[in-house]
Amino acid sequence: MKRIVLFITLIFCAHILFAQNGSARMVNWNFSSKKIAADTYEVRFTADINGKYHMYAQNVGVEGPVATSFTFTRNPLIDLNGKVKEVGKMVKKHEEVWGGDVNYYENKVEFVQLVKLKKKIKTNVGGSVEFMVCDDKECLPPAEVSFKVNIGG
């Protein structure tokens, strides 16, 4: 009897851990930077999305789904130039469950933030990205992934 209770408890705990990682399991993130001028860099956030899921854009279009959003750690050595831009094939589709047209990406999307160094120094751009994925049957819990990208030097 103790073994059965232990087994059920382990399965329950594994299910909770699996659910908590939700969206993070379905998206592989790659973070990189590219120098585009003497003191300016493009910081790229590339999301490879599992084939059956889609990830919502920064402007979802309706209330309900969690939009992809970026939070940057304050760094006095850099200036963020403008907002994070999206590069990819956006899908706009009416979804009854959300009561309107939603904006999302399938397979792959890149987000680009321009960053300007205030001094010639090596530093990093850090923060986190929050996002949520759904397929045609379910949505997984939102996830947050931290990033740190080296620039300068």
Predicted TM-score of the model (pTM) = 0.83
The CA distances from residue 75 to 71, 83, 121, 142, in Å, are 12, 16, 12, 26
Domains: count for the chain? 1
The CATH number given to whatever domain includes residue 7 is: 2.60.40.1250
- pLDDT per position as a tens digit, 50-108: 989 999 999 999 999 999 999 999 999 999 999 999 999 999 999 998 999 999 999 99
Q: What does DSSP assign to residue 139?
A: B
- pLDDT per position as a tens digit, 126-148: 999 999 999 989 999 999 999 99
Instruction: Determine the structural domain holding residue 31 and report its residue range.
Output: 2-151
